[in-house]
A = this chain, B = another copy of it.
Amino acid sequence: MNTRPIIIPGALVATSLQQLRLSAPLVHCLTNDVVQSFTANVLLALGASPAMVVDPAEAAQFSAIADALLVNVGTLTRPHADAMLAAIHAANQAGKPWVLDPVAVGGLSWRTEFCLELIKLKPAAIRGNASEILALSGLSASGRGVDSGDDSLSALPAAQQLAHKTGAIVAITGETDYVTEGERSWAVAGGHQMMTRVVGTGCALSAVVAAFVALPGDRLDNVAAACRVMSCAGERACEVVKGPGSFAPEFLDNLYLINEEWLNGKGMQ
């Protein structure tokens, strides 16, 4: 269980990406107020279709139509929580997958309780940093720290346990990302430190994960492909920009242009 996962091959990532562009999944995003525009632009650049429908009754109606649902608790309020629950139940009833981004779970009480309830509702995938995954898994209670300094590899056992408990694919993102279904796991290299100076790169990744869980084929591969597409577009952007301001346009352009050659190239140490 503790052998270090190997890096997902570029060809596998390219296959998932090709399917994404062919099917252009419609992703219902119930996400936080800060990142809505960036999230929508990331999905559009990549070839998916975003939609934000936030009234509880409409959210339920729409989740049954959309191909996947994203739930991100970054700016959780009571009305948002109601819409999320309504949308999740409708998605489950319609057989549509949903993804959880448990922003800041562990550090704040209400959202922690709320997310511990949500993971009982069969998410297809969960994407968080090491602290968030540790907090959701319950392992953090047994003495481990949950500060954001926890590195992604050290949280892999917690991610595997969370995957077993919930049936979800769990992605821990950090300098290297790890994606697991409990037994099998992938590592995803790439990305760049500058991406932490731009708001919403992690939140947008969760939306991209939602787009990729809507695809046919192996869901573990698809979630790891989502992580790699984003890290590849990000690392290439950081090679040419001088700061986090010019990163965002360049990153979105890269998501629009990314191809198999890029994915088979460097960054895949």
Contact = CB atoms under 8 A, between A and B. Distances in A.
Interface of A: 32-38, 40-41, 44-45, 50-55, 57-58, 61-62, 65, 74-79, 104, 107-111, 196-200, 241-246, 248-257
Contacts of A40: 34, 199-200
Nearest to A246: B249
23 contacts: A33-B54, A37-B200, A40-B199, A41-B244, A44-B198, A45-B243, A45-B244, A52-B74, A53-B104, A55-B78, A57-B110, A58-B108, A58-B109, A65-B107, A77-B79, A243-B252, A245-B249, A245-B252, A245-B253, A245-B254, A246-B250, A246-B252, A248-B249
Contacts of A241: 253
Contacts of A251: 245
A50 B33 CA distance: 13
A250 B248 CA distance: 11
B41 A55 contact: no
Contacts of A246: 249-250, 252-253
Given A37-B34, A77-B79, A245-B41, A110 B50 contact: no
A53 B107 CA distance: 11
- Centre residue among A40, A108, A199 by max chain B CB count within 10 A: A199
A160 B34 CA distance: 35
Contacts of A77: 54-55, 79
- Centre residue among A45, A65, A200 by max chain B CB count within 10 A: A45
A51 B245 contact: no
A42 to B, nearest CB: 9
A257 B243 contact: yes
Contacts of A109: 57-58, 61
